[in-house]
């Protein structure tokens, strides 16, 4: 008799974990969409574009970490750490370029950045 209740509880807990995982994955997808909108809607502000790229990478990292925890695998977490390192380097180099460009030109505009070619 207890075996039947045991299976029922395992079935209920497995389904509960699956239902809650959809909520998290939907949240990560919403963060990814916000990042895409930040890139494609606001093309005039370079700082917002860099922050939107960071949101894209953050949502991808969160999906990697969440799925690696659910599958009991460390590969996703190691890959997320690698992507996080690349994102930090990309952000710092991008902000350094923006600061140098502002010192040279006195203004920051996406339309005028193509004049940097050298």
**Tens of pLDDT, residues 57-88:** 999 999 999 888 888 888 888 999 999 999 88
Domains and CATH numbers, the chain: 2-116 (1.10.287.3510)
Neighbours of 35 (CB within 10 A): 21
- Name the 3-class secondary structure at 1: coil
Cα–Cα dist 67/95, whole Å: 31
Q: What are the CA-CA distances from residue 11 to residues 4, 5, 25, 80, 90 (Å)?
A: 11, 10, 21, 31, 45
pLDDT tens digits, residue range 5-35? 455 555 555 555 555 777 888 899 999 999 9
């Amino acid at each position: 008799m207890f075996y039947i209740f045991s299976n029922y509880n395992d079935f209920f807990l497995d389904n509960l974990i699956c239902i809650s995982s959809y909520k998290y994955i939907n949240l990560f997808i919403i963060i990814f969409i916000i990042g895409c909108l930040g890139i494609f809607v606001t093309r005039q502000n370079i700082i917002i574009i860099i922050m939107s790229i960071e949101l894209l990478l953050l949502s991808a990292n969160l999906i990697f970490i969440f799925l690696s925890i659910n599958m009991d695998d460390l590969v996703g977490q190691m890959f997320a750490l690698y992507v996080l390192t690349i994102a930090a380097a990309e952000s710092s180099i991008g902000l350094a370029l923006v600061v140098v460009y502002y010192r040279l030109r006195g203004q920051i505009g996406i339309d005028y950045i193509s004049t940097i070619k050298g």
